[in-house]
Amino acid sequence: MTQKQTKNEFWAWFKAIGLAVIFTMGVRYFILSPVVVKGASMEPTFETGDKVIVNKVGPRISNYNRFDVIVFETKAAEHYIKRIIGIPGDHIAYKDDVLYINGKAFDEPYLTEYKEGLLDKGDFTYDFTLEEQLGEMTVPEGHYFVLGDNRRQSIDSRSSNIGFVSKDKILGTAGFVLWPFERLGSKH
């Protein structure tokens, strides 16, 4: 191989590796990003140590929907993973462990397994209304009301430290566990 051929091959490899790095960084920054779950607030849907994939594009093209699981940044610059319960304009209330949105009862099938496993059959989600928790009648425009699936151990919109989550603080939706392999797959 001549020196010119070696130089051309080096530049070809350099360009290929450079493009691969740029492509990977682009995908990670703009489309999909891994996030590690910390804490028990989303059990059993997501467990501590689960590495989930955050879809940054899908919801930006359409909208975030009620019951989507999202990852968002808090005032303390931490990332939280929670479920959207209330969208803009919704009135949220819990009474006797039943979710009411705009006065209508909603089933939460993603909580059934966890509720059934509780030894003390007390309320899983304590009674509250939006105005009691945050002083608002409805979820403000451009914001969401979120709760962890493990309602007894979740810091979420019921806390004044979190409150309503602004749409511009949402990184994307989470619905796929990448690691550990025994939990690999779609979760909702």
Q: Which pLDDT tens digit goes with each residue over 116-158?
A: 777 566 778 889 999 999 999 999 999 999 999 998 889 999 9
- Angle (CA) 27-31-34 rounded to 5° is 80
Strand ranges of the sheet holding 92-95, from the earlier edge strand across to the other edge: 104-106, 98-101, 92-95, 128-129
Is residue 1 in a domain?
Answer: no
Is residue 131 in a domain?
Answer: yes
Known active-site residue 82:
yes
> What pLDDT does 83 receive?
96
CATH of the domain at 130: 2.10.109.10
Percent of the chain with pLDDT strictly greater than 90: 37
pLDDT for 30 beyond 60: no
| Catalytic residue (one of 82, 154, 157, 187) | 82
> What pLDDT does 114 receive?
75
> What pLDDT does 184 receive?
65
**Banded model confidence at residue 182, pLDDT cuts 50, 70, 90:** confident
| Catalytic residue (one of 33, 41, 154, 157) | 41
**Banded model confidence at residue 112, pLDDT cuts 50, 70, 90:** confident
Q: Residue 73 is part of which domain span?
A: 35-186
Of 11-25, 82-96, 104-118, give the lowest mean pLDDT range: 11-25
Known active-site residue 41:
yes
> What pLDDT does 36 receive?
82
CB 84 within 8 A of CB 70: yes
Q: Based on the structure, what is the number of domains in the chain? A: 1
pLDDT tens digits, residue range 156-168?
Answer: 999 888 999 999 9
Is residue 11 in a domain?
Answer: no
Is residue 116 in a domain?
Answer: yes
Q: Which of 176, 178, 171 is nearest to 187 (CA)?
A: 176
Is residue 56 in a domain?
Answer: yes
pLDDT tens digits, residue range 41-88?
Answer: 998 888 899 888 888 886 666 689 999 999 998 877 788 999 999 999
Is residue 26 in a domain?
Answer: no
Is residue 20 in a domain?
Answer: no
Is residue 18 in a domain?
Answer: no
CA atoms within 13 A on the CB side of 68: 22
- CA 7 from chain center: how many Å? 48
pTM of the model: 0.81
